[in-house]
A and B are shown apart, each in its own frame.
Chain A
Amino acid sequence: GQQLNQSPQSMFIQEGEDVSMNCTSSSIFNTWLWYKQDPGEGPVLLIALYKAGELTSNGRLTAQFGITRKDSFLNISASIPSDVGIYFCAGLRGGADGLTFGKGTHLIIQP
């Protein structure tokens, strides 16, 4: 089955740095979602994108829905220790379909 190509696989950064990660696909999605997962917990929705070209912010997080509908990126500005975790992109073709996930970006922040 198809999965999204998410990169980078892991990031080691200093506290206060900005972070950027992205997802690409060979096919079109109508909705892009970004989740964060902490150890031992389920994914928590951060940002949802519904229109090609849409740029959406949630606090220090900014995400964009690529104009081709085949990609999305997530930026985190001024990282803090609680940003540590695994970030997943997910694409949705139809409203009630299951999500197609990327393999995740593991964010590690060094104080």
Chain B
Amino acid sequence: DAGITQSPRHKVTETGTPVTLRCHQTENHRYMYWYRQDPGHGLRLIHYSYGVKDTDKGEVSDGYSVSRSKTEDFLLTLESATSSQTSVYFCATLAGQEQFFGPGTRLTVL
């Protein structure tokens, strides 16, 4: 158990609405990551954080923002959701050189 929880686990929203996904960890890991998983693409990195208030972009960051005000929480925000952001979103933390994943959030944008 990597001590990672994600909320909500499922969400359906409409195009143009803002959405925030939360990742919470209990292991006090410095590095946290957000990935999205789509059929035919595997997992792709959206944003990551290397400490409180320190974040950087990943491969597919357009349309997403993140915030990290506390070590244990990493938030992913879709300012104005689009149908192309329908996906499963995974949070991960880094322990040594190994990344451990949360259970995921399935987001559907109608």
Contact = CB atoms under 8 A, between A and B. Distances in A.
B59 interface: yes
Interface of A: 1, 3, 6, 31, 33, 35, 40-45, 48, 50, 88, 90, 92, 95-96, 98-99, 101-104
Interface string B28-57: 000101010000111111001010000000
B60 A43 contact: no
Given A42-B90, A88-B42, A33 B99 contact: yes
Contacts of A95: 94, 97
Contact of B42 (A33, A42, A98, A103): A103
Given A48-B97, A48-B98, A103 B41 contact: yes
A99 B45 contact: yes
Interface residues on B, range: 20 to 34
Nearest to B39: A103
Given A6-B42, A42-B104, A92-B99, 4 more contacts: A3-B41, A40-B104, A45-B100, A88-B43
Contact of A1 (B35, B60, B97, B101): B60
A22 to B, nearest CB: 15
B35 to A, nearest CB: 8
Contact of A3 (B42, B48, B50, B104): B42
B42 A45 contact: no
A41 B98 CA distance: 18
Contacts of B44: 1, 3, 101
